[in-house]
Amino acid sequence: MPETLTHKNTSESLKLFERACNVIPGGVNSPVRSFKSVESNPLFISKAKDAFIWDVDNNKYIDFVNSWGALIHGHAHEKVIIEIEKALAKGTSYGAPHENELELCELIVQSVPSIEKVRLVNSGTEAVMTALRLAKAYTKRNKIVKFSGCYHGHSDSVLSMSGSGFATFGIPSSPGVSKNTANETITLPYNELFSLELILNKYPNDIAAIIVEPVMANAGVIPPIKGYLESLRTIANKFHCLLIFDEVITGFRLSKGGAQEKFNVMPDLTTLGKIIGGGMPIGAVGGKKEIMDLLAPIGSVYQAGTLSGNPISVACGLATLKSIDKNTYTYLEETTNELCEEVSKLNDKLGANLTLNKTGSMFSLFFTKERVTSFEKAKLSNTKSFAQFFKLMLLNGIYLAPSQFEANFLSTAFSKEELTKTIEAYKNSITEMFK
Ligand code: KE4
């Protein structure tokens, strides 16, 4: 029988968490980190390198969060650290244009097929907020359509029926968002077109944009059903509203051109984040020149940011993107496929009726035997079983995303050895649960 670990010493994390709760709401600076939904206290991390993170009690884990997808090359990649150090020697912020930010923007325009112009911001939230403002200005309409389970950051107009932390804590929408704002957002089921056609026929001249995660990752991983993204494009054209792909996660994750390249469906605007900053604060909104040129100072749609294009974030992002080579996506996809195939074999062998969804190098294990094609289906998962699974994997040295409604990510730092250890840990955990 595999060794059943009963506990790890996490006393230093607990001390820090208790201290943190005195000065930070919930003891964390972002809700999903709280481990609340997995009935645990969060681990405080002391360092990270390649595929690993260490907590303050010096427990080592294979990391599948990778800063929520930002670290495609794992932690502290030497080529990235060197570029950050070089940038640091030249100062941390100029509040003025610099060549590296131009180079990063040129690289984004060259890589993402629908982007003709791009503006750097400081987070995915800011990127989405700006994209929606642009869409409303360009179409002179005020309503937007989003999909339940998709998460687009925490700006007011997208805080309804969201995924990520909302799904994790079962929050339908957030207090503090005015009724007027909430009424301008229509939330529909993902992977379903009937209700979308209905709403657009009901409001044929009111919808400024349809915003979607082209592959949902904030309800757990939920890929688009065949033809879905193409249909969104057709419907947006028919009703003269913009199609916005929120590629904060999928951008440079699924391919250099993101989901739009992988599925060959071109949005009007794209939001990016995470990987383009390599783990430093960043976001970007890009798209057609005629829309992007509405932004000040050339146009009158205002958007600004003290640290937009920050030299350190840009150096980190540039080094990250430049370290992506022709083998990166093949390696990530093949390694993820191998891991998921082994997990599926173990599920069959151990009679674990679970659903595994994956796209590229991101995956989620749902504690339901239902096929998960929508947020509504994802919510059928047994989150208590997920919590038990999460804790068992942690005991076995695997740090998964601490929520049933999040994605797990591989990095190029993840080697055969980590693959073997992860499969062993999975076998121990699932055996313990289904014995
Ligand atoms: P940020 O503002 O957190 O940089 O990006 C918001 C955002 C926008 N769009 C998508 C598709 C996203 O996934 C995100 C943020 N993702 C979550 C994880 N699912 C960030 C983790 C957190 O909230 O702490």
CATH 3.10.50.40 fits 7-76+326-434, yes or no: no
- Comparing 416 with 171, the larger pLDDT belongs to 416
Ligand 1 centroid, distance to 373 Cα (angstroms): 21
| Start-to-end Cα distance in the chain | 11
Sequential DSSP letters for 168-187:
HHT-SB-TTS-HHHHHTEEE
Encoded tokens for 259: 């989901």
**Residue 214 CB-density burial (10 A; 0-12 exposed, 13-18 middle, 19+ buried):** buried
CA distances from 55 to 45, 67, 72, 249, 342 (A): 4, 15, 21, 25, 28
pLDDT of 77 > 90? The answer is yes
Read off the pLDDT of each residue in 304-327 and give the average, rounded to a whole number. 97
> How confident is the model over 243-291, as pLDDT tens digits?
999 999 999 999 999 999 999 999 999 999 999 999 999 999 999 999 9
Q: Of 139, 190, 125, give the one whose Cα is nearest residue 377.
A: 190
Q: Is 337 helix (H, G, I), strand (E, B) or coil?
A: helix
pLDDT tens track for 140-194: 999 999 999 999 999 999 987 777 777 777 666 788 888 888 889 999 999 999 9
Amino acid letter for position 324: I
State the Cα–Cα distance between residues 148 and 211, nearest whole angstrom.
11
pLDDT at 109 over 50: yes
Among 36, 67, 68, 272, which residue has the most ligand 1 atoms within 8 Å of its CB, making it the best to mutate? 68
Task: Tell me, in angstroms, the distance from the centre of ligand 1 to residue 152's CA.
Answer: 7
**pLDDT for the residue numbered 1:** 42
Residue 166, pLDDT score:
75
| Ligand 1 pocket check for 165: Cβ under 6 Å | yes
- Fold annotation for 78-322: Aspartate Aminotransferase; domain 2 (3.40.640)
The finding on whether 253 has its CB within 6 A of some atom of ligand 1 is: no
Burial of 186 (0-12, 13-18, 19+ CB in 10 A): buried
Q: In what order do the strands lie in the sheet with 269-273?
A: 117-121, 283-287, 269-273, 242-246, 207-212, 143-147, 185-188
Q: Where are the domains of the chain?
A: 7-76+326-434, 78-322
Residue ID of nearest Cα to ligand 1 atom 13? 249
Under 8 Å between Cβ of 189 and 374? yes
Q: Is the CB of 403 under 6 A from ligand 1?
A: no
Q: How far is CA 171 from CA 174, 274, 317, in A?
A: 7, 24, 33
Closest residue CA from atom 6 of ligand 1: 153
Q: Which residues are catalytic?
A: 151, 246, 274
pLDDT at residue 5 is higher than 60: no
Q: Which of 3-17, 108-122, 292-306 shows the lowest per-residue confidence on average (mean pLDDT)?
A: 3-17
- 66, two tokens: 């990778």
Q: How many CA atoms does the CB half-sphere of 8 hold within 13 Å?
A: 23
pLDDT for res 6: 59
Average pLDDT, the chain: 95
In tens, the pLDDT along 200-235 reads: 999 999 999 999 999 999 999 999 999 999 999 999
CA of 353 to the centre of ligand 1 (A): 30
Tens of pLDDT, residue by residue over 62-71, are: 999 999 999 9
Burial class (CB in 10 A: 0-12, 13-18, 19+), 206: middle
Q: Which atom of ligand 1 is nearest to the CA of 128?
A: 8
Q: Is 248 in the pocket of ligand 1 (CB under 6 A)?
A: yes
Q: What is the mean pLDDT of residues 33-60?
A: 97
